[in-house]
């Protein structure tokens, strides 16, 4: 299996040179799956597509034969379409890179990461559906949306909080709006819990050691991602 991914920067999925914590989480899920049992990072079975590369391809995308309109986005108005159209076009663009690799790599899984940046469940769902629609429009069946609500720090914090208390409900993390330190923004809360700046290297080490365990994350947006990844595997 070969995994091709695209994210927003080095602190989430990472780049081709610098792997990020979200990629580490995915790797641990794959490694723990009895059908695989190996680390794609260890065997270097992955590839990175930058957001700029996706944007360049997306600009030149043409409607596909029998491509279905994104009705739920259009009904929501022009503003919603602009908000979610990027998710759709980026998913379609990523499938083009993935499809080109299928002949060489065999099974190729495409993972598209983007923070949803919303606490509104309906908006999150529109963005999730847009990514799914983008994969489906290209008839690519191994695409995985990775869409934290509202941002990936919520997932990491949930893993930390439930490390020593499996009964803890951390669903309120998905309803935290962006803010500054006084407003208890998620990134500052994570820094407080780690007692250090949550840099890529630190998070990677904690995921690698099991201190941050994907099995401890119980949030709707994470569960949707993990369910889809498991289905693809």
Contact in structure between 99 and 140 (CB atoms under 8 Å)? yes
CB atoms within 10 A of CB 174: 23
pLDDT tens digit sequence for 36-61: 889 999 999 999 999 999 989 988 87
For residue 170, pLDDT over 60 is answered with yes
pLDDT at 66: 54
pLDDT at 164: 86
pLDDT at 58: 84
For residue 75, pLDDT over 70 is answered with no
State the chain's maximal CA–CA distance in angstroms: 53
**SS3 state of residue 203:** helix
pLDDT at 219: 97
The dihedral of CA 17, 22, 23, 27: what is its sign? positive
Q: Among 30-39, 64-73, 123-132, which range has the highest average pLDDT?
A: 123-132
For residue 77, pLDDT over 50 is answered with no
For residue 19, pLDDT over 70 is answered with yes
Looking at every residue in the chain, the average pLDDT score rounds to 87
For residue 211, pLDDT over 90 is answered with yes
Report CA 138 to chain centroid distance, whole Å: 19
Lowest mean pLDDT among 22-26, 37-41, 100-104, 148-152: 100-104
pLDDT at 69: 46
Higher pLDDT, 1 or 70: 1
Mention every residue, 6+ apart, whose C-beta is less than 8 A from residue 157. 170, 173, 186, 189, 190, 193
What confidence tier does 15 reach under pLDDT thresholds 50, 70, 90? Answer: confident
**SS3 state of residue 194:** helix
Percent of the chain predicted with pLDDT > 70: 88
What confidence tier does 74 reach under pLDDT thresholds 50, 70, 90? Answer: very low
pLDDT at 64: 62
For residue 81, pLDDT over 70 is answered with no
**What is the mean predicted confidence (pLDDT) over 8-13?**
89
């Amino acid at each position: 299996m070969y995994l091709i991914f695209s994210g927003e920067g080095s602190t989430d999925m990472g780049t081709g040179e610098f792997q990020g914590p979200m990629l580490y989480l995915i790797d641990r899920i794959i490694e723990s799956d009895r059908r695989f049992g190996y680390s794609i990072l260890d065997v270097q079975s992955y590839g990175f597509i930058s957001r700029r590369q996706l944007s360049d391809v997306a600009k030149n995308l043409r409607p596909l034969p029998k491509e279905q309109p994104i009705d739920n986005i259009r009904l929501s108005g022009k503003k919603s379409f602009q908000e979610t159209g990027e998710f759709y076009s980026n998913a379609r663009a990523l499938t083009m890179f993935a499809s080109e690799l299928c002949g060489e790599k065999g099974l190729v899984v495409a993972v598209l990461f983007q923070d949803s940046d919303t606490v509104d469940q309906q908006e999150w769902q529109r963005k999730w559906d847009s990514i799914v629609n983008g994969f489906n429009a290209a008839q690519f069946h191994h695409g995985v949306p990775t869409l934290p609500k509202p941002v990936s720090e919520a997932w990491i914090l949930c893993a930390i909080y439930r490390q020593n208390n499996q009964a803890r409900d951390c669903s309120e993390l998905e309803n935290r709006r962006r803010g500054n330190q006084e407003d208890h923004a998620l990134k500052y809360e994570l820094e407080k819990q780690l007692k250090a700046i949550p840099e890529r290297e630190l998070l990677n080490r904690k995921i690698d050691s099991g201190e941050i365990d994907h099995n401890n994350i119980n949030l709707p947006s994470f569960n949707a991602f993990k369910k889809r990844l498991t289905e693809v595997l």
